[in-house]
Structure formats: structure tokens, C-alpha cells
Chains A and B, each alone.
Chain A
């Protein structure tokens, strides 16, 4: 019998486990009580506790049941919403006896409660939408079959390359004929914009600070290896937050796109390094928006601003680093964006392509048309709603933004109408490889009109085993407690990540994507140039989507 005073008689004030997104399945019979799971849990969602248990025993030749009360040690999931199980499964990884595992609870009412203190739920990761994206519904249906021979992905020469940079209208090329050959007419003093030939899949902007040192280093090493050893010109974007001073002064800088965002973090160091740069960067990306949290600024939580990050960014340690939603100088696109592009171009003597990145939005075409008229704008990167982030409000991630497929397509078709589809490359991002189909998603976007694509979450998953998925698994990037050591600045956590292994995986991922792209392009009879805008090659199993994208419907 319970004591009559001092304790409440019921537990109605508590949440039941049914409200939680993940429920821990713990097996008493397998657990040896080593405590590894409770020690490793990044959110302390489980704890070791003791319980009194009643056992019925019977010994002897005839049943003589008797009850015994034992005190036992158990692992229990807490019902505190601040310590909810994120489903990361680190406990399962460390358990020697497969005694513990989180299980997704589709009936959860997590979002009903995750606003304690009057603040909305913040997290890292991606949009929690496990449904099949448009990109994954696109199929390649124009197969070369007898009327024209399909190519051989293993034998024919393939050039899976794209151009990053403003491309001149052929009618404006400063050329003159000299006998039977053409040469540059220097008397015309024409500005020839810088253009890079790159692999069409690039690593999108993820900052030092958002990523742990071994993660960023692993990506950077992988990219350098791909370029120098494999001859695959993959580029990667720094994200906002600068780059290592040594890297800025190294010959490897040419494989990196440096990002400038509204907080200008890291730019003191970058500007100081410009006179000492031995190579130009691949490009400069001006971030105006991010697909995961459109219209929202960047945020690096104080707990991630450790010594190294503080030094690179030129800020004090342990302060929240918020980048405002807009650039403070951004008065209007006509004036300020043009000036920003101009200033960045000027900083590198107009030798580096400078392009803006915006989040997917219905207003993308307005931005695009403005850039189309600016001969210094090198490209436009559009980041769709399925993009990822290190920290944002859940509502921004789940509900704000525009899917990339139709946004990219309408922008491309707008350029086609103006005959400028080759002049201003479109880079698509957000949700590429969401279900693991990296090459297929990339190829589909290319055929819808993208010149290239950028990936973030995919490479974190594929190269560093990020736990995150569309069921809100893990998504702790904002807390600095990444159990994989990917998005943390805590040495105890990032020790778990081996930068060499990350680099190795980056190389494997891109080599495999290169092969897979060929396997898509070869049966479609394309090998010499990227099939940008080859929309006749695509179909979708939904008539409305087909109409919206201007492709065929196939079922």
C-alpha cells in the first residue's frame, strides 16, 4: 500500500511515453547493466534506475508459488520532454548485447509539447517529411533503343562536367577572323567573365563551426584528393564562417567556394589573406537565403563557439553567433546586390565568379531576371525546402520554403524565353540524395535545367554516418552534442570521427556518383556535354506535376 501522505497518488501530470517520438525498447533479459547506453546518450533520455519487482517462485515437486520482492537495476526512458529520445540509436551502437533500441512512434504528440518556456522547438537537420519527393518520382524514360545506339558507360568517353561562371552571349564574344582561324579581338577591351569547369555535383555550404574540425577537414581532404588524384574537379563551399588561414594561403584554395553571408563571419581573416593567396578560390557565394530556413538568419549556438572557431571567425568565445536574416547593406536588389557582386569581384580582380544563393521561393524568378541583366552575376544557386541546416526553428524547417523541382524549372524556362539559359548557370540544392539517389536526383535536376547541384546532408550521411533522417531522428546539430562528432566542437565527441575515413568516403561517394551519372546518361545517348535542360528525357507519374514541369507523364 502506498504511503498516505507526502506523495501524490497518481501520475496524471506526467507525459506518457506514447507522446514521445521515439520509445526505447529495452530488454531486461539481455541487459548486463554495463551502463554504456546511459553514458553515451546525448540527451540523457535514458537513465539507470532501481525498481522493486515482484517475482513468483515455485520450487519442489508440486506447485507451491510464493512471491518474492527483489530490487533490480533497470534502464528507463525519462518522460521529460526536454530529454526526449531523439532516436539517434547511439545506445544501440554501444550496447554489447543488443538489449536496447529506440523505436519510432508515429502516434507521437511531440510538437504539442516541445515549446517549454514559450520558445518554439529548435533543432538541426532537415525537413521532417519522409514522403517521396518530386525528385525521386522523376524517371528517365527516353532510352536510346535501336533507332539510335545507347552509349557504353564503360567504353565511351564521357565528360560529366559543368560550367560555373557567367557565360557570354555568343553574339558578344570579342572575336575576329585571322585567315581561317578565330582569335580574341583585344581592341574591343571586352570583359570576359571567369568561368570554372567543375563536376556538376558540389558540396554545398557547411561552415567550420557548424561542422567539427575532423568533419570539415575530411571533406576538404576528400575534395582535394578528388581533384588532384582522381581528376574529378569537385568543389566545395566554405559556408559562412571563414576558412583556416593556412588553407586560404594554400594552392588548394582553388577547390573551394568561399561564402559570404549576412554575419560576415570569418571575413576579417579572408580579407587579410587576399594578398597572400597563391590561387584564386573557385568562386564566391553570397548567401542571401537558405532553403531549410528561408528568410531566417544563421545561428551558431554559443556552445559551439570554441577557441578555434572564435579565432577563425574573429569573435569572442562562447557567444551566440547570429547572422541576420538579411545583409545589412541590402537595400534593393538593383543596387545593393549588384554592388555586393561587384565588390567581391573587385576583391579578386574580376578573376573569380561571384554568385548569390537564395532559398527556393516564388520570387526566385524576380531575382533571376535581375541577375540575368547583371553581366557580373556568375550564377544563381537556389536552395529548396528540403535543404538542411545546423540550427533553426522547427517551423521554419518543416513549413517554410519552396520545393526545388518546380522552382528550378520555372527559372530555367524563364531563361529559355530570354535565350539566356546558357549564360546564367542555375545551381540547384535542397533534398538531393534525400532517399540516397544522389546521381539520379542530380541528373533529373540537370535535365530540368540545372547546371549543377549542391549537396549537404547527403554527404554527412554518406561520408560520416550522420544519423539524421526525415523522422526527426537525432537532429541535434544545434546543440553541439552530435553523437557522431559531425556537428560538434566538443573534442570528446569529435574524437569519434576520423577525418581520413571521412575523406575516403567523400572520394568513394563522388566516384560512385560519376559512374552512376554515366549509367544514366549513356542509355540516353548523352556523353559529350551535360544534358542540361534535356527535359524530353524525363517523365513523372503524375499528370499535374508533368504539366507543371513541362515534361511528359508516364505511368
Chain B
């Protein structure tokens, strides 16, 4: 089962914190990979918040193709972060790992954020299309103030391979996933967290409703709903579809993926809307066993799981720093100094929502709305 560790904080933290938390949750063979998404970047990216950051991996040939492509698109390289990789026995190093901040093409400088988001996503998809057949380029995210790092191997070894313990890379929100590959071949695009236009999530467990959900999403006519090398990618896209495309408040994500029974809906003040949402988004209902941790573009983080709670999670911390983990020992590792009695184990109807800068934790109950 995949291990999930997320930390949200008002101060910049090192990505090593959630990675070390992952290590405490390790059980048996667990070396299919590490996925990291950092949001609200510190360190060398602190002053580059308005520039979109392209995160990915490329080969020597891929680098040239990428440079030419970005130039042709009108993006100007502003800053590049490349980890100083340390050779590791079990990790097959690729040519270039990068996070590059670009300046928008001149004609986009005064455009709305929504238009910019379309450009960034389409550019990422175009790069993916160019690089995917021969694996010359992987592009994981292209968005301001967000970096995504992925590689196959034991999470702690991967972190050491990237030198994250010594690197100055920091962020206020870090999502880390220790991947335990089961069904599918190890492939970087199948590695969580998944990111699309400011929305990000990672999941553990199998998604038994994957095919109908994927088919529904792919039928939305939205170019970003592709990939699905992992059955968990749909959780990110459901979040994006619900919150960005349909403009539903965050709590409706829970109502979409785990809809209430008809009798339960009747107790909610928004029952008329909820009834319609349940019908119209019926194919997006998940059946678990899954726990989802994610963040929204404004930095709100959340944890939610399927209605049977077969993959539990826990949230704990102090004001200004909270950890969202798949196991209690992970929280102990990330935030040892806290009141453990206040740890939150979300139940069937709960959605834990942590406000930006980890100021407030709210447990939203679906039954009460």
C-alpha cells in the first residue's frame, strides 16, 4: 500500500520532513518510487512566485528538444534548479532533472490567470506528447510556485539521490508519496502526487471504480483529462473538475466522491442542489479503498477517504503546522511536539480541511453539511 505524508506549514520546511515521516511508515518492500509536490516555494524560488515552474526530467536529446520547444512557444528561462544527484546503487539516474522558472510569452503578460493556466497546461501536455514515446522528456507540472519531483526507488534513497537533505529547496506545503507499485509497471507518469492547474492530490489504495470514472472524465472535453497511467490520477481530476470547472466549494468534493444516501441528503440544507449533484456526477463516485490528501490553489489542504474507511488517515499538529499522514507514526515523525489527544482520525462522513498557512483545522461533516 502506498504511504502518504503531507505537511502544511506557515513557515518554509524542507521536503525531507515528510520523506522521513514516510520512512517511519515503511513496511517490507516499498521501493517503487517517490513523488513529491512542493507548493508555496521558498529557497531559491521564493522570489520567483509569479513565474511558472516546469518540473520534469529529460535526456540529453530531450533537453535540446525542450529548449527549442519552449523558445518557440515564447517562454524565456528565468531560473533553473537542478539537483546535484548522488549515485545510488538502486537508482537508475537519468540525464537531467530540473525545475525551471520561465517568463510568460510576451503576449500573455497581461492576460488573465485563467488564460495563463490554459497556456501552461497545454504547453505541459504538448511537451508530454513530444517526450512520452521515447521517454526523452517527462513533464510533471508547469505552474507558478509549484515543483514536482519523481523517481523510481526507495523514497529515502531517492531523497538522498537528489540531495534534498542538503539542497536549500523549501516549501510551505509538501506532499510526499512512497509508492508501492502493485498492478502496473513502474512508470513515472503513474507516480503520485498528480497536479493540474493548481489542484494536487495523492491517494493510497486501489480505485475499483477507475474505468467508469476515467471514461466520464475523458468525456468532459477538457484536454488535461488524459494520462491515467495510475488509477489515482482521477482523484486529482475529479477535484479539478468539481472545484475549478464546476466552481463548487471544496466540501462538495466529498459529496461527489462519496455521495450520501437519498435519506441522508434530505437532512442537508442544500438538499435540492445535492440531489442534482449526486445524479449528474454519479460516475465520479469512488468506492475505495482510498484515502486522498490534496491541496487547492489557495493553499488549503484536505484529507478525505471513501465511505467505508478501509484506508484510514490521520491529521495532527499545532497551529501553523499540520501533518496529514496515512499513519500515526508519520505524524509523530513530522510534528512530535503536539497534543496527540487532538489528532483527528476522520470518519466516514468527515473531510478535514486545513486553511492556508496551516492556521485552522476544520472537520467538515457531510451529514450536517
Q: Tell me whether A and B are bound partners.
A: yes
Q: Are A533 and B211 in contact (CB under 8 A)?
A: yes
Q: Are A525 and B288 in contact (CB under 8 A)?
A: yes
Residues of B176-210 contacting chain A, CB below 8 A:
182-183, 205-206, 208-210
- Contact partner of A167 among B246, B273, B282, CB < 8 A? B282
CB contacts (< 8 Å) of B221 on chain A: these are: 419
Cα distance, A456 to B286, chains bound together (Å) = 33
Cα distance, A533 to B276, chains bound together (Å) = 21
Known: A144-B208, A197-B262, A524-B208. A156 touches B277 (CB 8 A): no
Q: Does A487 contact B (CB under 8 A)?
A: no
Q: Does B307 contact A (CB under 8 A)?
A: yes
- Contact partner of A170 among B210, B277, B288, CB < 8 A? B277
How distant is B226 from chain A, measured CB to nearest CB, in Å? 14
- Contact partner of A184 among B209, B259, B272, B308, CB < 8 A? B272
- Contact partner of B270 among A182, A524, A535, CB < 8 A? A182
Cα distance, A159 to B208, chains bound together (Å) = 16
How distant is A483 from chain B, measured CB to nearest CB, in Å? 43
Q: Does B219 contact A (CB under 8 A)?
A: yes
CB contacts (< 8 Å) of B219 on chain A: these are: 416-421
Q: Does A332 contact B (CB under 8 A)?
A: no
Cα distance, A526 to B210, chains bound together (Å) = 11
Q: Does A59 contact B (CB under 8 A)?
A: no
Cβ contacts B101-119/A at 8 Å (1 or 0 each): 0000000000000000000
- Contact partner of A159 among B248, B249, B261, B280, CB < 8 A? B261
Q: Are B246 and A171 in contact (CB under 8 A)?
A: yes
Residues of B288-326 contacting chain A, CB below 8 A:
288-289, 306-308, 310
How distant is B75 from chain A, measured CB to nearest CB, in Å? 31
Q: Does B247 contact A (CB under 8 A)?
A: yes
CB contacts (< 8 Å) of A531 on chain B: these are: 208-209, 212, 287
Q: Are B369 and A181 in contact (CB under 8 A)?
A: yes
Cα distance, A421 to B261, chains bound together (Å) = 22
Cβ contacts A166-190/B at 8 Å (1 or 0 each): 0111110101010011111000000
- Residue from B208, B269, B281 whose CB has the most chain A CB atoms within 10 Å: B208
CB contacts (< 8 Å) of A10 on chain B: these are: none
CB contacts (< 8 Å) of A181 on chain B: these are: 249, 269-270, 273, 369
Q: Does A207 contact B (CB under 8 A)?
A: no
Q: Are B247 and A177 in contact (CB under 8 A)?
A: yes
Cβ contacts A143-173/B at 8 Å (1 or 0 each): 0100111010000110100010001111101
Q: Are A171 and B245 in contact (CB under 8 A)?
A: yes
Number of cross-chain contacts by CB at 8 Å: 129
Chain B residue with minimal CB distance to A186? Answer: B272
Q: Are B183 and A422 in contact (CB under 8 A)?
A: no
Q: Are A167 and B206 in contact (CB under 8 A)?
A: no
How distant is B336 from chain A, measured CB to nearest CB, in Å? 31
Q: Does B215 contact A (CB under 8 A)?
A: yes
Residues of B235-286 contacting chain A, CB below 8 A:
245-249, 251-252, 258-259, 261-262, 269-270, 272-274, 276-277, 279-283, 285-286
Q: Are B208 and A525 in contact (CB under 8 A)?
A: yes
Chain B residue with minimal CB distance to A170? Answer: B280
CB contacts (< 8 Å) of B273 on chain A: these are: 173, 175, 181-184
Cβ contacts B342-369/A at 8 Å (1 or 0 each): 0000000000000000000000000001
Q: Does A528 contact B (CB under 8 A)?
A: yes
Chain B residue with minimal CB distance to A532? Answer: B212
Q: Are B259 and A528 in contact (CB under 8 A)?
A: yes
CB contacts (< 8 Å) of B280 on chain A: these are: 167-170, 173, 422
Chain A residue with minimal CB distance to B308? Answer: A156
Q: Does B96 contact A (CB under 8 A)?
A: no
- Taking residues whose C-beta sits less than 8 angstroms from the other chain, chain A's interface range is 35 or more
How distant is B3 from chain A, measured CB to nearest CB, in Å? 15
CB contacts (< 8 Å) of B281 on chain A: these are: 170, 422
Chain B residue with minimal CB distance to A162? Answer: B282
- Taking residues whose C-beta sits less than 8 angstroms from the other chain, chain B's interface range is 35 or more
Cβ contacts B212-225/A at 8 Å (1 or 0 each): 10011011110000
Q: Are B269 and A536 in contact (CB under 8 A)?
A: no
Cα distance, A163 to B277, chains bound together (Å) = 13
Cα distance, A524 to B369, chains bound together (Å) = 30
How distant is B236 from chain A, measured CB to nearest CB, in Å? 17
Residues of A121-157 contacting chain B, CB below 8 A:
142, 144, 147-149, 151, 156-157
Q: Does A80 contact B (CB under 8 A)?
A: no
Q: Does A546 contact B (CB under 8 A)?
A: no
Cβ contacts B61-94/A at 8 Å (1 or 0 each): 0000000000000000000000000000000000
Q: Does A78 contact B (CB under 8 A)?
A: no
Cα distance, A173 to B215, chains bound together (Å) = 20
Q: Are B287 and A529 in contact (CB under 8 A)?
A: yes
- Contact partner of B276 among A151, A159, A175, CB < 8 A? A175
CB contacts (< 8 Å) of A529 on chain B: these are: 209, 259, 282-283, 285, 287
Known: A151-B308, A181-B369, A536-B210. A167 touches B279 (CB 8 A): yes
How distant is A179 from chain B, measured CB to nearest CB, in Å? 8
Cα distance, A29 to B277, chains bound together (Å) = 72
Chain A residue with minimal CB distance to B269? Answer: A181
Cα distance, A169 to B281, chains bound together (Å) = 8
Known: A175-B273, A527-B308. A182 touches B252 (CB 8 A): yes
Known: A167-B282, A184-B273. A534 touches B220 (CB 8 A): no
Q: Are B249 and A149 in contact (CB under 8 A)?
A: no
Known: A171-B246, A175-B273, A182-B277. A533 touches B287 (CB 8 A): no
CB contacts (< 8 Å) of A151 on chain B: these are: 308
Q: Are A182 and B259 in contact (CB under 8 A)?
A: no
CB contacts (< 8 Å) of A149 on chain B: these are: 289, 310
CB contacts (< 8 Å) of B182 on chain A: these are: 147
- Residue from B261, B277, B279 whose CB has the most chain A CB atoms within 10 Å: B279
- Contact partner of A147 among B183, B269, B270, CB < 8 A? B183
CB contacts (< 8 Å) of A306 on chain B: these are: none
Chain A residue with minimal CB distance to B183? Answer: A147
CB contacts (< 8 Å) of B249 on chain A: these are: 177, 180-182
Cβ contacts A504-534/B at 8 Å (1 or 0 each): 0000000000000000000011111101111
A-B contact pairs, 27 of them (CB 8 A): A142-B208, A148-B288, A148-B289, A148-B310, A151-B308, A167-B280, A168-B279, A168-B280, A173-B246, A173-B273, A173-B277, A175-B276, A177-B249, A180-B249, A182-B274, A183-B273, A195-B279, A417-B219, A421-B215, A422-B281, A525-B289, A528-B285, A528-B286, A529-B259, A529-B282, A529-B285, A531-B209
Interface of B toward A, CB cutoff 8 Å: 182-183, 205-206, 208-212, 215-216, 218-221, 245-249, 251-252, 258-259, 261-262, 269-270, 272-274, 276-277, 279-283, 285-289, 306-308, 310, 369
Q: Which 5 pairs show the lowest CB-CB distances between chains A and B?
A: A419-B219, A525-B208, A148-B206, A529-B285, A182-B273
Interface of A toward B, CB cutoff 8 Å: 142, 144, 147-149, 151, 156-157, 159, 163, 167-171, 173, 175, 177, 180-184, 192, 195, 197, 416-422, 524-529, 531-536
Add 18 more A-B contacts to A148-B205, A148-B310, A418-B219 (CB < 8 A).
Answer: A147-B206, A148-B208, A149-B310, A163-B279, A168-B280, A170-B246, A177-B248, A181-B270, A183-B272, A192-B276, A419-B218, A419-B220, A421-B216, A422-B282, A422-B283, A525-B206, A526-B208, A526-B209
